[in-house]
Amino acid sequence: CLFVVVLGEYGKIGNCDRSEFFDRNRQCQLNFFVEIKKDPLGNCNTKYLLMVDCSKNVIKQCLEGTASGEQLSRLVDTTLGMVLAMGEAETMFCRQGGLPLTTITKAPMSQDKPCADRYYRQTPKCGDTFVEKFSVNPADETLCVEYGKVIDCAKHKIEDHCTRSEARDLRNSLYEDFNPYCEADKIIAREVAQNSTGRSSPTSLLYWFCCVILMALYGH
């Protein structure tokens, strides 16, 4: 991501440490999965939009001062909206359970592909069982295990069919160890255990789309 090149040596994303930035965005994404599991029959679009708004607020807060308030707000809203639309993010979250398989395994138009054709054909199939279970019941307790299986499968496809280091690094960064379904289960279990004390659970989020915002700000 460009912000790693531009800001990585300082270890900061605007006003935020990189770890803080990623953690706060991840919390927004995680909140989506918690709400989906707690209310599987509810409107997924509403939950998705809340997640996007949460992510926008994190980006704006971290980049505060890099542009005027109005300019920054317009840039984040417009650019993030376009990136989410191009990546079919709503479909990815509401129909595919948050798996990025379809989006990032589209074969490049160029003949200079970083992976063999088998990678683009086979990797989306890693998620077939998971997506089928999610579509039937987003609160299915086996999704934690199934999500982990998908990530393992996708990583193996990278190892088998991608030789260029940049492709492997990028896709491995997207298939990180974070499992939102296992984490959501833990949060819901804590909420149940804490009901009698009146303590509230943490709020919760998506991060990779922010790269384009920083490209717009620092890429000129």
Q: Hey, what's the torsion of the CAs at 35, 36, 41, 47, to 10 degrees? A: 70
Residues 6+ apart with CB under 8 A from 159: 168
d(CA 107, CA 128): 19
Q: Domain of residue 181: give its range.
A: 2-218
CA-closest candidate to residue 132, choices 144, 122, 143: 143
Question: What's the domain count of the chain?
Answer: 1
The predicted model scores a pTM of: 0.74
Output the CA angle 129-132-133, nearest 5 degrees: 85
Specify the DSSP element, H or E, that contains 12.
strand 12-13
Query: CA-to-CA distance for 133 and 81, rounded, in angstroms?
Result: 29
Q: What is the pLDDT of residues 58-108, one digit of tens each?
A: 888 888 876 677 777 887 887 777 767 766 788 889 999 988 766 556 666
pLDDT tens profile 117-166: 888 888 889 999 999 999 999 999 999 999 999 988 888 888 888 877 76
Q: Can you tell me whether residue 180 is helix, strand or coil?
A: helix
